[in-house]
Amino acid sequence: MDFPYKIYYIANARMPTERAHGIQLAKMCEAFLEVGVNLELVVPRRETDTRSVKDFYGLRVDIPLKRLRILPLYTFGRFGFFLGSLSFAVGYFFYLGWKHWVRHEKFVIYTTDLDQFSFFLIPFLGVPYFVEMHDAKKKLWQFILLFRYASGVISINEIIKAQLCYRFHVPNKKNIVEPNAVDRALFDKPESKEVARTLLGLSSDRRMVMYIGKVYPWKGLGQFVEAAILMPNILFYLVGGTAEELRTVGLINEQPANLVCVGQKPFAEIPRWLWAADVLIVLGTEKDDYSYFYTSPMKIFEYAAARRPILASVTPAIASILSNNEAFVYPADKAADIPERIRYIFEHPDEAQDKVNQAYQHLHSSWGERALRIVHFMESQLV
């Protein structure tokens, strides 16, 4: 496509990183490039994996990357992170200011809410900018400034959009909703459950419930552990976390024999793990506002693409993506209800397959399609 502006994507993130925000960032940059947008990712220079972003995430294209020198203080607690973020803000301000005021480049800025502070100098550059929001924000000076001069806002769910429009008076026409997406190419050669398990060296004769994701207290992983204890004859696989991490956040003392924690796996290997499962679970908790209202888990779209039955916690955030037509559901934080739902899935294979088909059909938006919609939105705001 012929987008007349170069995009400088500013992200205060360690790249590459195994965390979900890094995957989302990499896939969106890849998608922008593949639809024909001229893009450069601007990040702080931090210690990270020595592989390129392309190799780390198994991307199809190289991402033009500018690493800015910062104060190396991120490991020194909250104050160190603040100073590192401040030095990154000053760095991109002068880097892009030189391009704007000296070289007279024609560009727009795209950024996302990876922290609460580093974006505060963007409005002072005097160029159009767009912000992707993964959370509703408190009415603080930096957000008031950010939204007042933003050319457009991309919210990942309707709840976030509504709160930003109300709290910061963002016009409805300048705020669109774009949930996360999936890389369909990773799932275009599906494997049977038996083949996937053989290649992964997993048991072929036991039923398996799986959760994909890292161990964070706000995700409600305690429900997964409780369900494993209640169903000792079912294997519960945690892909992305370790038993030691579960102990650190206080979710287990002794590991249940049927709870298997396999740790972090390469992003490109995740489809095979999903294909190996009988049921895939999405967690959410009312005990954390981000989990309950604002998250848009990429795993939901990956689960749908893998064509396996989904069991999901009922939260407003998850309900904005998944309906009863596409998933089996249970009340948030009611771990005791999970075994009943799992048994129902196994006892009703036809209904499960119908929901699988519905999820695959309705949640199959690709990163490329998402990027195109966002580019068209930016064009509409830049007229």
Instruction: Please report the pLDDT score of residue 18 as a whole number.
Output: 87
The dihedral sign for the CA sequence 210, 215, 219, 220: positive
Instruction: Please report the pLDDT score of residue 82 as a whole number.
Output: 85
Q: Could you tell me where the DSSP H helices lie in the chain? A: 20-34, 53-57, 77-97, 141-149, 158-168, 193-200, 222-230, 243-248, 270-276, 289, 298-306, 316-319, 338-347, 349-362, 367-381
Instruction: Please report the pLDDT score of residue 329 as a whole number.
Output: 97
Q: Stretch 67-84: mean pLDDT, rounded?
A: 83
Instruction: Decide: 159 and 317 in contact? Cβ < 8 Å.
Output: yes
Q: Stretch 68-75: mean pLDDT, rounded?
A: 82
Query: How many angstroms separate the CA atoms of 207 and 216, rounded?
Result: 26
Predicted model pTM: 0.93
Q: Stretch 124-136: mean pLDDT, rounded?
A: 97
Q: Stretch 252-280: mean pLDDT, rounded?
A: 95
Instruction: Please report the pLDDT score of residue 152 as a whole number.
Output: 98
Structure tokens at 26: 């990499």
Tens digit of each residue's pLDDT (9 = 90 or more) over 268-296: 899 999 999 999 999 999 999 999 999 88
Instruction: Decide: 86 and 54 in contact? Cβ < 8 Å.
Output: no
Query: How many angstroms separate the CA atoms of 33 and 171, rounded?
Result: 29
Tens digit of each residue's pLDDT (9 = 90 or more) over 14-29: 999 988 999 999 999 9
Residue 191 β-bridge partners: none
Q: Stretch 117-145: mean pLDDT, rounded?
A: 96
Structure tokens at 223: 């429900």
What domains can be seen in the chain, in order of their start residue?
A: 6-181+366-381 (3.40.50.2000), 185-362 (3.40.50.2000)
Sheet holding 107-112, edge to edge: 65-68, 39-44, 6-10, 107-112, 129-133, 152-155, 175-177
Query: How many angstroms separate the CA atoms of 160 and 247, rounded?
Result: 32
